[in-house]
Amino acid sequence: MSIKKVSLVAFVCISSFLPICSNANSAIQQTKGNFEDKFRQLDEVLPTPNVYRNAAGEPGHMYWQQKVDYEIDVKLDEEKRRLTASQNIDYKNNSPDTLKYLWIQLDQNKFRSDSMAALTNSFGGIGSRGPASQGASSSSPARLSLGALRSQQFVEDTELGFELQKVTDGRGKPLNYVVVGTLMRVDLASPLKPNSSTELTIDFAFNIVEENAVSARGGYEHFPDDAREGGNDIFLLAQWFPRLAAYTDYEAWTNKEFMGRGEFTLEFGNYDVSITVPADHIVSSTGELSNPRDVLTSTQRKRLEEAETAKRPVFIVTEEEALENEKEGTSKSKTWRFKAERVRDFAWASSRKFMWDAQAVELETKTVMVMSYYPKEGNPLWEKYSTRVSAQTLRTYSKHTFDYPYPVAISVHANSIGMEYPMICFNGGRPNADGTYSERTKYGMHSVIIHEVGHNYFPMIINSDERQWTWMDEGLNTFLQYLTEQEWQREYPSRRGPAHLIVDYMKGDKSNISPIMTNSESLFQFGNNAYGKPATALNILRETILGRELFDYAFKEYAQRWMFKHPTPADFFRTMEDASGVDLDW
């Protein structure tokens, strides 16, 4: 290895993860002099191993996590763009602690005009995600953008946030609750002891935000030029129901305020969700459709059966059928019922504009249905690529981690940069109005689909704390995204992964470069820091330091140890050393 290579490796890796390594002045004092050992043991920084997380980076012999099951009935009012719902929650306390209250996330409250996000944000509007693609520095002079002005106007004109209509226990008795921003503390009638369960019911409603107006992760997009009077909408429903915050051995309640950029920390459970929408809508969702005879025509069911063994995408709803659907509305409704097991969240999309295609993907141990939903505005790009790119993602990620465990993987077209949920994701990539598109648009669409479908693994299954450690899902996922892109097409123009792509960032103003181990709301240059830098460090570990054989074995070991569990950074660091047999502390 050349001196230049060693320098690059040390610069990227040491400055990447830990605050202690980002600046010599911040290091723990080792002697009375100024000596600092760049190869000092990482044990001084990591938390002490215990019965829940052992020294090898594995779940300990007393590891536990909570379980939350949901039954939800939800209705979409298309004209009012409003959701009303009732949900029953079964919460199982598997911890050794007795709980007097539960913390529940109310993410729609972020859009209230008095929310912490609204009062502290002057860059991208009320719902700013801090898009990873921009990599803008948060130290820029404060300014009020056009997006922020539009967001402000939207919030002033629309009453947003959850309307809580009922919070009761399993017997219907009202429970005391306190709303704290995007969180709600529900006081239990009696303390919940270990290995016990409690039930509660929450009735709620909210007005759906216009996705583009507030840079939201979900909402509606309006199409005024459709033939139907008044136009049509695509509804992307995410963070749409009160969700239990995670209670963990490393932090207890993970009840940080939702500011928009830091994402979600959630518990696994089973879902049974009934979704009532206009009768001419097509619904895509987390989970499997359990009542196809109630909502699909015989022709659609036959096509779906054909897709279960197809090697290329089969249309369930064709473009011609979707175009015909766009022309008329209806006063009738249908209820779609979806069930999902062992998922940490639930999202869905609904529109009369959707065409729908699907195909089977054979993995080593199972076959998965891959599906795409998109309007005419997505074609011809989506018809050609969405389902095929999704299938490649499952093949590559499964090879490096574990076979995708869920029955379906869905890509839904959205006029946004992309957002992920279990079994379903919302992805951008829209051609010009005349159907033409640039190479940049095509590859941007491919990359966002790979990235968001890939998030099924990190963090939807390997369930890290997104709100605290952004790099654990975004960085690891971006690394596998790069590997997938290169397998999808030789010399694919990847934006992140190889070391040379991050040189300009790493040699930039050091006051704007954060250690990766920084809270998501405090990161400078979010995209470069949370996505690009960890992906580059992992690529260097694989190609230069460990070699592919050792790295791939250790990385797969980490994924399989922590699938359907809550890993922390220490668990990742320790597993990579333990399984590779190489001292990586430096």
**pLDDT tens column, 280-307:** 999 999 999 999 999 999 999 999 999 9
| CA distance linking residue 81 with residue 207, whole number of Å | 6
459 cis-preceded (ω within 30 degrees of 0): yes
Q: Which two tokens stand for residue 306?
A: 């054909």
| CA distance linking residue 429 with residue 530, whole number of Å | 22
Antiparallel, parallel or unpaired: β 314-317 and 252-253: unpaired
For the ranges 70-79, 200-209, 365-374, 507-516, the lowest mean pLDDT is seen at 507-516
Which pLDDT does position 175 carry in this prediction?
Answer: 98
Which residues, listed in sequence order, are joined to residue 275 by a DSSP beta bridge? Answer: 74, 336
The dihedral region occupied by 56, where left means phi > 0, alpha psi between -120 and 50, and beta the remainder, is alpha
pLDDT above 50 for 142: no
Residue type for position 387: T
Helix (H, G, I), strand (E, B) or coil at 431: coil
Phi, psi angles (nearest 5°) of residue 289? -70, 120
Nearest to 289 by CA among 381, 410, 427, 393: 410
Q: Which two tokens stand for residue 409?
A: 């993987």
- Check residue 263 and report its DSSP letter: -
Q: Which two tokens stand for residue 23?
A: 């600046």
Question: Angle at CA 320, nearest 5°, toward 419 and 376?
Answer: 35
Cβ contacts of 225-232, under 8 Å, gap ≥ 24: 226/326, 226/327, 226/353, 227/326, 227/327, 228/326, 228/327, 228/328, 228/329, 229/329, 232/326, 232/351, 232/352, 232/353
Say which residue the tokens 């704390």 belong to.
Answer: 465
Helix (H, G, I), strand (E, B) or coil at 527: helix
Antiparallel, parallel or unpaired: β 333-343 and 408-413: unpaired
CB crowding 464-475: b at 16 or more within 10 Å, else e: bbbbbbbbbbbb
For the ranges 150-159, 186-195, 363-372, 504-513, the lowest mean pLDDT is seen at 150-159
| CA distance linking residue 65 with residue 62, whole number of Å | 10
Which pLDDT does position 32 carry in this prediction?
Answer: 67
Contacts of 23 by beta carbon, 8 Å cutoff, 6+ apart: none
Question: Hey, which bits of 153-264 come out as E strands?
Answer: 163-169, 177-180, 183-192, 196-207, 219-223, 232-237, 243-244, 247-248, 252-253
Say which residue the tokens 């990359």 belong to.
Answer: 447
Tens digits of per-residue pLDDT, 458-494?
999 999 999 899 999 999 999 999 999 999 999 999 9
Say which residue the tokens 């998965």 belong to.
Answer: 368
| CA distance linking residue 408 with residue 405, whole number of Å | 9
pLDDT above 80 for 125: no
Cβ count near 384 (within 10 Å): 12
407 cis-preceded (ω within 30 degrees of 0): no
| CA distance linking residue 156 with residue 171, whole number of Å | 39
The dihedral region occupied by 512, where left means phi > 0, alpha psi between -120 and 50, and beta the remainder, is alpha
| CA distance linking residue 213 with residue 81, whole number of Å | 14
Which pLDDT does position 105 carry in this prediction?
Answer: 97
Tens digits of per-residue pLDDT, 20-67?
344 444 455 656 677 777 778 887 789 999 999 999 999 999 999 999
On the 0-12 / 13-18 / 19+ scale of CB atoms within 10 A, 566 is buried
Phi, psi angles (nearest 5°) of residue 498? -65, 150
What H or E segment, with its residue span, contains residue 88? strand 82-93
State whether the Cα torsion 514-509-261-466 is positive or negative. Answer: negative
| Sheet bearing 183-192, strands edge to edge | 177-180, 183-192, 99-105, 243-244
Tens digits of per-residue pLDDT, 242-269?
999 999 999 999 999 998 888 899 999 9
Confidence of residue 520 (pLDDT cuts 50, 70, 90): confident
Question: Angle at CA 240, nearest 5°, toward 236 and 242?
Answer: 165
Confidence of residue 213 (pLDDT cuts 50, 70, 90): low
| CA distance linking residue 209 with residue 320, whole number of Å | 30
Mean pLDDT of the chain: 89
On the 0-12 / 13-18 / 19+ scale of CB atoms within 10 A, 265 is buried
Q: Which two tokens stand for residue 236?
A: 């992307």
Contacts of 235 by beta carbon, 8 Å cutoff, 6+ apart: 76, 78, 81, 208, 219, 220, 349, 350, 351
Distance from the Cα of residue 453 to its chain's centroid: 9
Which pLDDT does position 214 carry in this prediction?
Answer: 66
Which pLDDT does position 143 carry in this prediction?
Answer: 42
pLDDT above 80 for 156: no
Tens digits of per-residue pLDDT, 57-105?
999 999 999 999 999 999 999 999 999 999 999 999 999 999 999 999 9
Helix-then-strand count for the chain, H and E: 16, 23
| CA distance linking residue 254 with residue 243, whole number of Å | 12
Which pLDDT does position 137 carry in this prediction?
Answer: 33
Helix (H, G, I), strand (E, B) or coil at 542: helix
Helix intervals (H) in 208-309: 211-214, 292-295, 298-307
Higher model confidence: residue 536 or residue 1?
536
Nearest to 198 by CA among 235, 169, 172: 169
Confidence of residue 412 (pLDDT cuts 50, 70, 90): very high
Tens digits of per-residue pLDDT, 197-211?
999 999 999 999 998
For the ranges 11-20, 121-130, 406-415, the lowest mean pLDDT is seen at 121-130
The CA R_g of the chain, rounded to the nearest whole Å, is 24
Say which residue the tokens 């007795």 belong to.
Answer: 98
Which pLDDT does position 9 carry in this prediction?
Answer: 47
Nearest to 271 by CA among 120, 88, 498: 88
